[in-house]
A and B are shown apart, each in its own frame.
Chain A
Amino acid sequence: ASCVQYRLVVRDVNTLQILQLYTCLDQIQYIEWSSDSLFILCAMYKRGIVQVWSLEQPDWHCKIDEGSAGLVASCWSPDGRHILNTTEFHLRITVWSLCTKSVSYIKYPKACQQGIAFTKDGRYMAVAERRDCKDFISIFVCSDWQLLRHFDSETQDLFGIEWAPNGCVLAVWDTCLEYKILLYSLDGRLLSTYRAYEWSLGIKSIAWSPSSQFLAIGSYDEKVRILNHVTWKKITEFEHPATITNTKTIVYKEVEKSPSVETERLSFPPTRALASSLFSTQSKYDISQVPVSLQCIKPVADRANPKMGIGMLAFSSDNCFLATKNDNIPNAVWIWDIQKLKLFVVLEQLCAIQSFQWDPRQPRLAVCTGNSKVFLWSPAGCVSVQVPMEGDFQIVSLSWHSSGDSMVLLSKDNFCVCYLEREEV
């Protein structure tokens, strides 16, 4: 599904054929599929309206109007039948039920990046709240929205919460002014706190490993610390220095190779294909010899939210690799081998990394850097794929299909679907 201005277009994944076309009242800011893929919600924050469309019944419609309360965020509940709207100024979260047309309110939600977290199995929902300058966490049962537990969190200013994939541990971390991460069990008991250091800027991003064995914490000091689930103590630290000296890591460097164009074949006006090939430069990967020094940028010291530290963390689905990005070295993706707890591969790109995502089935990483190429890495090697489009296609973000066979590449105005061939075994 994709939205264009105020229209919602639903396409088939394999053929990209338009299946449905819906028109909304206003410009759509956010769309989300329900968990059973039967409904799509379209949120229009300006108007404070959420419209829900059904795929099975194109005539069915639903409109939720928040009115003067305003709308800041909207999301589905895991059962696909409730919509949670966060009103403006984070006054409250209203839970609209599609089945019963009933409304519930959650008061005092916290205005932070990740204030709502659902467990993987969709049974519980944790909401971060703040009352009287203190942080609280409420755990709700998603089936009937009953409050299960309400406890206070020992954070100064909660920044985010995230459930472990096994649904039993909730990681709560503090604002970046304070390096503190708290681990709560499902019933609200504090299992452990971890504090790496004081005073310097703290946690920037965290990631759970799919088996819930490890919790990777990326911080502003360019290090990733890994805690294990048995003792909740640090088992290792990954550093991201600007020069790589370990001979066992492979460094792939993206190298441009300009295409050779025979001048006799140039015709005027130039054909489209020729033009695109002239302006688009091919690139390939070269293995650089260690030691390699990566391009490093010095962040501006007197600004808030400096571009330093580990900004992106992602575990591969088979729990073997961890991909990180150090914002100080924006052109490199670091891939760590979790079985050996060592740096495995560094991908050095020509432009800054925009986003990367692991294939949900295999240990395959797709990286986009804002130009018209998507880069794939797997333990077998890495490849750079050019998007065959006329003109420029700046890939800003990408998203894998849940089967791992295809992925969507998004640019500012367009998107394209990249299909990956499966090897015939």
Chain B
Amino acid sequence: MGDWKTITVPVLSSDSKNIFQYTSEKKISPPSMNSQVLRLPLPSSKSMHSFFSAFCTEENIEQSISYLNRELTTLGFPSIYAESKGKELNLISIINCMNELLVLQHKNLRAQEEVEMQHLKLGSDMDHLQNCYAKLKEQLELSKREIVGLQERDRQLQSKNRNLHQLLKNEKDEVQKLQNIISSRATQYNHDMKRKEREYNKLKERLHQLVMNKKDKKIAMEVLNYVGRADGKRGAWRTDKTEARNEEEMYKVLLSDYEQRQKQLLVENAELKKVLQQMKKEIISLLPPQKQKPKERSEDGPVLSDLEEDIGELNKENMWELSCETVREQLTNSIRKQWRMLKNHVEKLDNQVSRVHSGALNEKDVISREDHELETEKLELEIQQCKEMIKTQQQLLQQQLMSPCDDDTTLLLQDCYLLEERERLQEEWRLFREQKKNFEKERRSFTEAAIRLGLERKAFEEDRGAWLKQQFLSMSTDYKHSENVTTPSAFLGSSDQDNRLAKSTSQQRKPHCMLSGPVSAEPCQTSQYITHNSSSAASKKPTGDSKSNQWVESDKEETE
């Protein structure tokens, strides 16, 4: 029933195509789905109507119903007829069937969509894979070509290499040949030379014989007198003894030379050994810092102890005096060992430094280096700051120095200063003059006061004298005999008192005058003087003259 190609359909009107399509549509049952894409035009509502009208007309209702029933039952749906065999239709079952068919249709549509989706995906995958395949093929081609090219180059280079080798061989062969030629020629020349030399020797011999045979009288030596030997010895005969002595001397010379050389070598050797010992000590002194590191303690512990033992042994033996092989070997071996340890030590330090840069370790040396770096940075900062300060100060200094150099400003400044000073001086002068005037006034007033005082004193004294006379006269009438002595003393005493008072006042005045020395005199002081003087003048008239004199003196002192 799934075969949609061959269908026997009852002969219908010209709408057979539509029916054809419709039936074909129906025949596609869900279980049997083809892989081929079916693009069937979904019948529109209009066509549906036409389908309906095409399939079931008024004439063949029963036929079509029975046909539908048959189809539905074959599909598994319940019959649309009622239970009885009559032609009554079961509406519920029809509706159910319809619903089922619709559901089926939906399902089929969804399935179709899914299939189409998958189809599209597969198509795109296929495209992608084909593209990849094409690209890979291209790459393969390219690499194959490259390989071929490289192989070609390799072959060329190899052939060049071979050529060069060949050339080299040729050259070497040539050189060898030339050397052989040279050597053969040299031997030939030597042979010839020897032959010629022999001839020459023969000639010489001949000549010698002739010369000796001739016994020329000319071959002689004329000396005026014998010359003494340089060292004063006489000529000696040549004997075996002398020969032996000569040999001895020769050997002595040789031996002395060898001894000297040996001494020099020994000295050198001793020095070198000393240097090696020093080096060893220094290396050992460098190695102990390793003990501080906990990691390497285990490694160095036993080795160092060995070393110390060695050192002890070697030092005890006084190595540099011995020179036997074993001792020498020991020394060199020990130095080599220590040198290697030092090298390892240095390498470890280097590793640690590199590790520190990545920030892994945190050991003493590393920290100290960090601190050191920090300190250096701080110091550098300080240095920079100081430098900046110095620069600013220099600039300021320069400004200060430079600004007065400006002509106008300097003149102005100078003028300002001068003006200031001038004003000050002028003020001072004014003050001074004022004070001078004041002092003049005071002086005049004082002199006037003094004159008044003098006058008053005179009057007073006259009065006093008159009063005393009266008293005296009165008293002398009363006490003629008893008080003659006391009055002159009282008079004297009063004059003494006056003198004393005058002195004291003068003394009092003098300090006042001293106080008035400074320039800034105050007028109140002068008034004080006046009041003081007037009071003193009122009390002490008789001393007015002396006072005035003293005042004049004090005035003089003032002016001085």
Binding site for B on A (CB under 8 A): 35-36, 39, 54, 59-69, 79-81, 89-92, 96-103, 123-124, 130, 132-133, 139, 141, 144-146, 148-149, 156-157, 166-168, 177, 185-187, 199, 230
- Are B224 and A187 in contact, with the CB atoms below 8 A? no
What is the size, in residues, of chain B's interface with A at 8 Å between Cβ atoms? 45
Instruction: Provide the bound-state CA to CA distance between A100 and B229, in Å.
Output: 9
Residues in chain A near residue B227, CB distance under 8 A: 39, 54, 81, 98-99
B216 at the interface (CB under 8 A from A): yes
Task: Kindly provide the distance from the CB of B174 to the nearest chain A CB, expressed in whole angstroms.
Answer: 15
- Are A64 and B211 in contact, with the CB atoms below 8 A? no
CB contacts under 8 Å to A, within B201-218, are: 201, 204, 207-208, 211, 214, 216-218
Given A123-B253, A133-B198, A168-B254, A177-B225 contact (CB < 8 Å):
no
Given A79-B230, A100-B226, A65-B254 contact (CB < 8 Å):
no
B553 at the interface (CB under 8 A from A): no
Instruction: Provide the bound-state CA to CA distance between A35 and B229, in Å.
Output: 12
- Are B220 and A81 in contact, with the CB atoms below 8 A? no
Residues in chain B near residue A187, CB distance under 8 A: 250-251, 254
Instruction: Provide the bound-state CA to CA distance between A144 and B243, in Å.
Output: 10
Task: Kindly provide the distance from the CB of B185 to the nearest chain A CB, expressed in whole angstroms.
Answer: 10
Task: Kindly provide the distance from the CB of A78 to the nearest chain B CB, expressed in whole angstroms.
Answer: 9
Q: Which of B234-242, B450-458, B465-473, B520-528 contacts A (4 or more CB under 8 A)?
A: B234-242
Smallest CB gap from A88: residue in B: B207
- Are B229 and A91 in contact, with the CB atoms below 8 A? no
Other-chain residue from B201, B216, B223, B253 in contact with A98 (beta carbon distance below 8 A): B223
Residues in chain A near residue B257, CB distance under 8 A: 166-168
Instruction: Provide the bound-state CA to CA distance between A187 and B230, in Å.
Output: 26
- Are B253 and A186 in contact, with the CB atoms below 8 A? yes
Residues in chain B near residue A90, CB distance under 8 A: 204
- Are B220 and A141 in contact, with the CB atoms below 8 A? no
Task: Kindly provide the distance from the CB of B501 to the nearest chain A CB, expressed in whole angstroms.
Answer: 99
Given A89-B207, A100-B226, A144-B242, A177-B218 contact (CB < 8 Å):
no
Instruction: Provide the bound-state CA to CA distance between A174 and B236, in Å.
Output: 37
Instruction: Provide the bound-state CA to CA distance between A64 and B221, in Å.
Output: 4
- Are B229 and A81 in contact, with the CB atoms below 8 A? yes
Instruction: Provide the bound-state CA to CA distance between A61 and B198, in Å.
Output: 41
- Are A144 and B221 in contact, with the CB atoms below 8 A? no
Other-chain residue from A59, A102, A123, A166 in contact with B235 (beta carbon distance below 8 A): A102
Q: A68-B219, A96-B221, A141-B246 are in contact. List 11 more A-B contacts (CB 8 A).
A: A35-B230, A36-B230, A62-B224, A64-B222, A68-B214, A79-B230, A90-B204, A101-B226, A123-B249, A124-B250, A168-B257
- Are B229 and A79 in contact, with the CB atoms below 8 A? yes
Given A79-B231, A102-B235, A199-B179, A146-B243 contact (CB < 8 Å):
yes
Given A81-B227, A186-B254, A68-B218 contact (CB < 8 Å):
yes
Task: Kindly provide the distance from the CB of B205 to the nearest chain A CB, expressed in whole angstroms.
Answer: 9
Residues in chain A near residue B247, CB distance under 8 A: 148
Task: Kindly provide the distance from the CB of A420 to the nearest chain B CB, expressed in whole angstroms.
Answer: 31
- Are B253 and A167 in contact, with the CB atoms below 8 A? yes
- Are A99 and B229 in contact, with the CB atoms below 8 A? yes
Residues in chain A near residue B249, CB distance under 8 A: 123, 141
Task: Kindly provide the distance from the CB of A339 to the nearest chain B CB, expressed in whole angstroms.
Answer: 16
Instruction: Provide the bound-state CA to CA distance between A168 and B220, in Å.
Output: 36
Residues in chain B near residue A130, CB distance under 8 A: 197
Instruction: Provide the bound-state CA to CA distance between A100 and B223, in Å.
Output: 10
Residues in chain B near residue A166, CB distance under 8 A: 257
Residues in chain A near residue B253, CB distance under 8 A: 123, 167-168, 186
Residues in chain B near residue A35, CB distance under 8 A: 230
Residues in chain A near residue B238, CB distance under 8 A: 144-146
- Are A61 and B224 in contact, with the CB atoms below 8 A? yes
Residues in chain B near residue A146, CB distance under 8 A: 238, 242-243, 246
Given A144-B238, A168-B253, A69-B221 contact (CB < 8 Å):
no
Best-buried of A64, A96, A144, A166 by chain B (most CB within 10 Å): A144
Task: Kindly provide the distance from the CB of B362 to the nearest chain A CB, expressed in whole angstroms.
Answer: 48
Instruction: Provide the bound-state CA to CA distance between A92 and B257, in Å.
Output: 33
- Are B216 and A97 in contact, with the CB atoms below 8 A? no
Task: Kindly provide the distance from the CB of B229 to the nearest chain A CB, expressed in whole angstroms.
Answer: 5
Residues in chain A near residue B207, CB distance under 8 A: 89, 91
B41 at the interface (CB under 8 A from A): no
Task: Name 7 A/B residue pairs within 8 A (Cβ), A-sorted.
Answer: A62-B221, A63-B222, A66-B219, A81-B230, A124-B250, A133-B198, A177-B186
B390 at the interface (CB under 8 A from A): no
Instruction: Provide the bound-state CA to CA distance between A59 and B257, in Å.
Output: 44
Other-chain residue from A62, A80, A89, A230 in contact with B204 (beta carbon distance below 8 A): A89
- Are A91 and B230 in contact, with the CB atoms below 8 A? no
- Are A101 and B223 in contact, with the CB atoms below 8 A? yes
B228 at the interface (CB under 8 A from A): yes
Residues in chain A near residue B261, CB distance under 8 A: 230
B281 at the interface (CB under 8 A from A): no
Residues in chain B near residue A91, CB distance under 8 A: 204, 207-208, 211
